[in-house]
Amino acid sequence: MTGPLPARVSRTWRDRFAQQGLPGLVDRKRTGRPPAFSPLQAAKAEPAGERCLPFGI
């Protein structure tokens, strides 16, 4: 996501933090299709993707 954070999203995270502290900021389970990659696989793939960006981006 690029650009400013929508106010409703900011309020959601602020309210969670106010009610639950830091544990409230952890991503929650989502409905829908499960992730194709484990968090470890995704972490390994991100640096490789960064190397593929055109110069100056």
pLDDT at residue 25 in the model: 87
Its pTM stands at 0.46
Residue 30 and residue 23 in contact, taking contact as beta carbons nearer than 8 Å:
no
Mean pLDDT calculated for residue range 39-56: 67
Greater confidence, 29 or 2?
29
Render pLDDT for 8-40 as a digit per residue (tens, 0 to 9): 988 998 999 999 999 988 888 878 888 888 888
